[in-house]
Structure 1
Amino acid sequence: MDMYTNLRKGEKGAWISIGAYVFLSAIKLFFGFSGSSEALKADGLNNLTDILASIAVLVGLRISQKPPDENHHYGHLRAETIASLLASFIMAAVGLQVLANAIRSIFEPVAETPSLFTAWIALFSAIVMYVVYRYNLKLSQEIKSSAVRAAAYDNRSDALVSIGAGIGIMGAVFGAPILDVLTAFIIGLIIIKTALDIFKESVMTLTDGFDEDEVETLSVLVRRVPGVISLRDFKGRNHGNVMFIDLTVSVAPKLNVIESHWITEEIERKIQKVKPHCVILVHIEPDFSSPISRQDE
């Protein structure tokens, strides 16, 4: 199915993130120690924790591809959302750590001036992570993956952290360490805000929340299907990149089975035209208040 193909594509984004974090953490820690830069060493350690977040996304995508079984009739698609939730926790922990370090640096003066070269390493890392962020963001939009989108936002947060580290190092080199504090504090707030956004979206999905705008848009499509007298009930939920919709519509009571089935198929066609990854269940009920059958029209 297409949805499983998309999940396999999503794994590529997770692997790219892991590769980038392994490479960047190695060079940051090496040059951080050799160049006496506490900021770059902290950024390198931060990337080590990001490897865990990317692995969580990768595992979630892999589990999501498992087919339905006797205990999971709808499949394992929500493992992707759980991976997004775990990624938000890791991002929040990193954001709090950045804030704590920024506050601590106010009271702890820099012991040794770092090498200016370490600032360029930090800025180079920011560029790399921004490229990875743009790739994963585009991929997440293409395959409609919340986990890959969470990974992309994590990539963006790390690009910001590296920019902050670079500014802080330059500030220390040129005698203005306060730049490090201000930049780190703002970046910490941005990371926490991003983590909260991912957390809220994940919780909404896991608790079967559904966007009201989606309900209104799809309801209009259903009501326009010939033969539908009224839309009596609409329920929707998301499992990873797949949308499940349960509908109850009323039709003329004199319709036969074939005619009623045509209406359900037309509803499915209308919705899947705008939502390709959608599973639809339509329940037909007779409307005795409008006893007009298709034969009478």
Structure 2
Amino acid sequence: MDRLTVNISDFLLRHTVERTNSQELAKPEYRKRVAYLEAWISIIGNIFLAVIKMVFGLMLNSISMLADAVHTASDVLTSLVVIIGFKMSSMPADQRHPYGHGRIEFIATLIIALMLLAVGVKFGYDSYQRYLANTPVRGSLLIAAFMVAAALVKELMSRISIELGNRIKSSALIADAWHHRTDAIASFLVAVAILASKYGYYRVDAVLGMAVSILIIWTGIEIFLDSSSKIIGEADEEQLERINELAYTVPGVMSTHDIAVHDYGAYKVISLHIEVDGSLPLVKAHDIAEKVEDIINGDLYAMTTVHLDSYNDTSHS
């Protein structure tokens, strides 16, 4: 399915954003368009599936399918949070926010993570109640087959959201993907419950449901902590290494230190010290610093400030 996910993602990106390369998609103007693409795919897909589930649920008088239809419809809310979050985060800088509003994206991720935690708790509670009741889940093989098909569609939506989220490095899109996955799991469990009930194993879906709820809660906590860490100012080791590598591509840079990155989502503010030969003319040293700034800005879409220091042989021996 991974190859299929990549192919579908490339197709969607080519016909909407007109870019597929992760380097280009990381630019703020394309990044927002990718986020909107993911959100609208999610909204349209969820509404379509929710309506079909509701119709089937009413026709077959299936409580489990009606409940799952409501669950699917509720996923539209997380996609709306993505749209609102990216819309607000793309607002231009102002006097009170000189580096823009990019961190609103992290706040949107926190909201989605909290919604995911709520889904996990509710899922676990409902599963526990089903375990205590030990009542059969009524339904037909037709319902079971449809729920499996719906689960596969939702899992594909989840993978596409993750693929798009990875390409633009957006935790909000990956968090939204996990809402798709919880719905896929819920739909699959309804199918399992129907089949198990036909053979008298009424508690199978309840036990599986409680196990899955733990996974959902754990994922929600991880997403919440990751986004919180970015708001606080976590240092991304891979990003620091990349900045270091880029600085050393400029001839004349002999050492680097004190690299600092302030992450604003699509936009970053970076500062670092470079050491150059102390005997160089000031104009030449300043030219090296400007080249370092330009290469980092072009690669990471940042505003970089380079501080010049004189290279000291004794301090590096």
Do the aligned residues in 2 keep the contact of 1:80 with 1:240 (CA within 8 Å)? yes
1:92 to 99, 105, 117: 117
The residue aligned with 2:304 is 280
The residue aligned with 1:147 is 172
Letter of the aligned partner of 1:136 in structure 2? S
- Aligned Cα root-mean-square deviation (Å): 2.5
In 2 relative to 1, CA 38–183 (structure 1 residues): closer, same or farther, beyond 3 Å?
A: farther
Task: Write the mapping of 1:1-297 to structure 2, written as runs, cut at 5 A.
Answer: 2-110=27-135, 113-223=138-248, 225-271=250-296, 275-286=299-310, 289=312
Do the aligned residues in 1 keep the contact of 2:27 with 2:266 (CA within 8 Å)? no
Deviations 1:220-266 (A, max 9, x none): 54356433343231111321133332112233445444312321233
Do the aligned residues in 2 keep the contact of 1:91 with 1:154 (CA within 8 Å)? yes
Q: What secondary structure is seen at the aligned counterpart in 1 of 2:123?
A: helix
Q: Unpaired segments of 5 or more residues in structure 1?
A: 292-297
Do the aligned residues in 1 keep the contact of 2:35 with 2:82 (CA within 8 Å)? no
Letter of the aligned partner of 2:117 in structure 1? A
In 2 relative to 1, CA 116–40 (structure 1 residues): closer, same or farther, beyond 3 Å?
A: same
Give the superposition deviation at 1:22: 1.5
Give the superposition deviation at 1:147: 1.7
Give the superposition deviation at 1:167: 1.0
Letter of the aligned partner of 2:226 in structure 1? E
Deviations 1:183-233 (A, max 9, x none): 212221221222122112111111111223432443354356433343231
Letter of the aligned partner of 1:5 in structure 2? Y
Q: What secondary structure is seen at the aligned counterpart in 2 of 1:118?
A: helix
Do the aligned residues in 2 keep the contact of 1:114 with 1:173 (CA within 8 Å)? no
Give the distance between the partners of 1:262 and 1:218, measured in 2 at CA: 18
Do the aligned residues in 2 keep the contact of 1:140 with 1:148 (CA within 8 Å)? yes
Do the aligned residues in 2 keep the contact of 1:252 with 1:290 (CA within 8 Å)? no
Give the distance between the partners of 1:179 and 1:111, measured in 2 at CA: 10
Give the superposition deviation at 1:78: 1.3
Q: What secondary structure is seen at the aligned counterpart in 1 of 2:37?
A: helix
Give the distance between the partners of 1:60 and 1:173, measured in 2 at CA: 45
Q: What secondary structure is seen at the aligned counterpart in 1 of 2:38?
A: helix
Identity score, percent? 29
Give the distance between the partners of 1:151 and 1:51, measured in 2 at CA: 10
Letter of the aligned partner of 1:166 in structure 2? A
Give the distance between the partners of 1:93 and 1:231, measured in 2 at CA: 45
Q: What secondary structure is seen at the aligned counterpart in 2 of 1:235?
A: strand
Give the distance between the partners of 1:86 and 1:183, measured in 2 at CA: 27
| Paired residues, number | 289
Give the superposition deviation at 1:14: 0.3
Do the aligned residues in 2 keep the contact of 1:95 with 1:191 (CA within 8 Å)? yes
Q: Unpaired segments of 5 or more residues in structure 2?
A: 1-25
Do the aligned residues in 1 keep the contact of 2:64 with 2:137 (CA within 8 Å)? no
Give the superposition deviation at 1:7: 0.9
Do the aligned residues in 2 keep the contact of 1:210 with 1:236 (CA within 8 Å)? yes
Do the aligned residues in 1 keep the contact of 2:106 with 2:172 (CA within 8 Å)? yes
Tell me whether 211-220 or 150-159 shows the greater mean CA deviation. 211-220
Give the superposition deviation at 1:270: 4.6
Give the distance between the partners of 1:163 and 1:109, measured in 2 at CA: 19
